[in-house]
Amino acid sequence: MGLAELDPQQLDTLVAETTGAYRELLERKLSLDLTRGKPSAAQLDLADELLALPGAGRTRSAGGVDVRNYGGQQGLPEIREIFGELLGIGVDQLIAQDNSSLSLMHDSVVWALLHGVPGGGRPWSGQPVKFLCPVPGYDRHFSICAHLGIEMVPVETGPHGPDPDEVARLVAADDTIKGIWVVPTYANPSGAVYDEAVTRALVSMPAAPDFRIFWDNAYALHHLTDTEHPPLDVLGLAAEAGHPDRVLVFASTSKISYAGSGVSFLGASPANLDWFLGHAAKRSIGPDKVNHLRHALYFGDAEGVRRVMRRHRELLEPKFALVSAVLERRLGDLGIASWTTPEGGYFVSLDVLDGTASRVVELAGAAGIALTPAGASYPYGRDPRDRNIRIAPSFPPEPELAAAMEGLTTCVVLAALEQQGAVQR
Ligand code: PMP
């Protein structure tokens, strides 16, 4: 029965239970963290073979390149071949770089601001620049925009991405909109999976030649169920639609091998790759090819990566099941929250009663449960309905995750009771 339908006696019981549970929670003096989508130690352990690779004396790639030396801006072919197959991108259109795909996104935006992009003429800067931001979205994308003075325009996203007609309307109406952030597979934090219709619409809509889709496929291979959504050939679809330069595809092994020492990838049209590599050559004399080689040796081939991802799934699936089970048991009947059940990725997106998300995060923080700040999944940290909370279940061990979820749900109910005036703050 929903909170609104409880009779006075039932409401009294719920108030007594919830305030009692919160008091106990405070007494436990917990120190738990559900903030960031970091792999757990057990997940990192999966890749520890890397610590011994490429191995003493192994200095050359399959093609005879001495990986210790400068050069090879595009990255080692053997790692590009493996990930090209997995991402559905031809090896000629995929480069391998250093450890962070976020830095490739950052640099792409900076270089576009300073120098412009292929086909686009002048630099983005010198005029107002805006980006469309599907929400809820990834806070670090928004931080790049905020840091570089790019105005963010939120667009609501559904289970298959934003409404493409809305995106097309916004882009057509305002030529200072130069980009859109997209996490197409198991989006952070909504779990959305962009379908082919939305993807085709985004690559086909009329837009200025210097408009770019930042297609951040960070979770392309991170399935949690047997429904493994394959990556769409977004570069092929864009080329087919006559806009080969519209899309920049990003990915990395951060949540496949080591989060801090993986390999990043950029997939793009030949013109965009030349553009990127031309600028990259000014800031580095080549990526870390020793890391490329050890990753290629560790994985062996694309099937090797799929094997590793199945091990990750074994570790992650029970944690996501636990989160769903606690949310369902504690909140399922009350009508005060809804949440996603993602088929992959790293997050559960929880919507609580409008106007209570910040209070939930505050109550949880006071009880030693760290949550991502309310509003973090929105540009400028402003969730207009103050209802979204991002849950990152991967890092804590299961007993800690269970304690954090029990505590969090107590806070969700308490904040709702406060808002209804049933509990005084
Ligand atoms: N994109 C998304 C959507 C992410 O969630 C993350 C990690 N939280 C990243 C990029 C970061 O990727 P990398 O480690 O390759 O910089």
3-state secondary structure the chain: CCHHHCCHHHHHHHHHHHHHHHHHHHHCCCCEECCCCCCCHHHHHCCHHHHHCCCCCCCECCCCCECCCCCCCCCCHHHHHHHHHHHCCCHHHEEEECCCHHHHHHHHHHHHHHHCCCCCCCCCCCCCCEEEEEECCCHHHHHHHHHCCCEEEEEEEEECEECHHHHHHHHHHCCCEEEEEECCCCCCCCCCCCCHHHHHHHHHCCCCCCCEEEEECCCCCCECCCCCCCCCCHHHHHHHCCCCCCEEEEEECCCCCCCCCCCEEEECCHHHHHHHHHHHHHHCCCCCHHHHHHHHHHHCCHHHHHHHHHHHHHHHHHHHHHHHHHHHHHHCCCCCEEECCCCECCCEEEEECCCCHHHHHHHHHHCCEECCCCCCCCHHHCCCCCCEEEECCCCCCHHHHHHHHHHHHHHHHHHHHHHCCCCCC
Single-letter code of the amino acid located at 357 = A
Which atom of ligand 1 is the closest one to the Cα of 255?
14
Give the mutation target among 143, 216, 264, 348 for probing the ligand 1 site: most ligand atoms within 8 A of CB: 216
Give the mutation target among 102, 186, 193 for probing the ligand 1 site: most ligand atoms within 8 A of CB: 102
Alpha carbon of 394 to ligand 1 centroid (Å): 14
CA dihedral 375, 379, 380, 383 (to 10 degrees): -30
pLDDT of residue 4: 85
Angle at 348 between CA 268 and CA 254, to 5 degrees: 40
Q: Which class is 61-300 in CATH?
A: alpha beta
Which atom of ligand 1 is the closest one to the Cα of 37?
8
Burial class (CB in 10 A: 0-12, 13-18, 19+), 281: exposed
412's tokens:
């969700």
| pLDDT digits 0-9 by tens, 220-238 | 999 999 999 999 999 999 9
Nearest to 372 by CA among 402, 397, 349: 349
Taking 90 as the threshold, does the pLDDT of residue 2 lie above it? Answer: no
CB 179, CB 162: distance < 8 Å: no
Instruction: Count Cβ neighbours within 10 Å for each residue of 88-105 and write b for 16 or more, e otherwise.
Output: bbebebbbbbbbbbbebb
Single-letter code of the amino acid located at 185 = T
Q: How confident is the model at residue 425 (pLDDT cuts 50, 70, 90)?
A: confident
The CA distance from 258 to 276, in Å, is: 25
Domain boundaries, the chain: 3-43+307-419, 61-300
Question: Which residues have any ligand 1 atom within 6 Å of their CB?
Answer: 37, 100-102, 138, 183, 188, 216, 218, 252, 254, 264
| pLDDT digits 0-9 by tens, 292-349 | 999 999 999 999 999 999 999 999 999 999 999 999 999 999 999 999 999 999 999 9
Single-letter code of the amino acid located at 252 = S
Alpha carbon of 218 to ligand 1 centroid (Å): 6
Alpha carbon of 221 to ligand 1 centroid (Å): 13
DSSP bridge partners of 390: 349
DSSP bridge partners of 369: 32
Which atom of ligand 1 is the closest one to the Cα of 216?
1
Taking 80 as the threshold, does the pLDDT of residue 1 lie above it? Answer: no
Alpha carbon of 387 to ligand 1 centroid (Å): 24
> Which residues, 6 or more positions from 303, have their beta carbon under 8 angstroms from its beta carbon?
none
Q: Which class is 3-43+307-419 in CATH?
A: alpha beta
pLDDT of residue 212: 98
pLDDT of residue 121: 79
The CA distance from 31 to 312, in Å, is: 25
Single-letter code of the amino acid located at 364 = A
Which atom of ligand 1 is the closest one to the Cα of 259?
14
Give the mutation target among 38, 44, 138, 395 for probing the ligand 1 site: most ligand atoms within 8 A of CB: 138
Which atom of ligand 1 is the closest one to the Cα of 346?
5
DSSP class of 226: S
Give the mutation target among 83, 185, 215, 252 for probing the ligand 1 site: most ligand atoms within 8 A of CB: 252
| pLDDT digits 0-9 by tens, 79-92 | 999 999 999 999 99
Single-letter code of the amino acid located at 222 = H
CB 30, CB 369: distance < 8 Å: yes
Alpha carbon of 184 to ligand 1 centroid (Å): 13
| pLDDT digits 0-9 by tens, 255-270 | 999 999 999 999 999 9
Alpha carbon of 140 to ligand 1 centroid (Å): 8
pLDDT of residue 170: 98
pLDDT of residue 36: 81
* Torsion sign (Cα): 305, 34, 18, 417: negative
The mean pLDDT value of the chain amounts to 97
The CA distance from 413 to 405, in Å, is: 12
> What does the longest C-alpha to C-alpha distance in the chain come to?
78
Q: How confident is the model at residue 120 (pLDDT cuts 50, 70, 90)?
A: confident
Same fold, 3-43+307-419 and 61-300: no
Q: How confident is the model at residue 389 (pLDDT cuts 50, 70, 90)?
A: very high
Region 371-392 average pLDDT: 97
**Which backbone phi and psi does 13 adopt, to 5 degrees?**
-60, -45
Which atom of ligand 1 is the closest one to the Cα of 103?
16
Q: Torsion-angle region of residue 161: left (phi > 0), alpha (psi -120 to 50) or beta?
A: left
Region 56-78 average pLDDT: 97
| pLDDT digits 0-9 by tens, 108-118 | 999 999 999 99
* Percent share of the chain, pLDDT over 70: 100
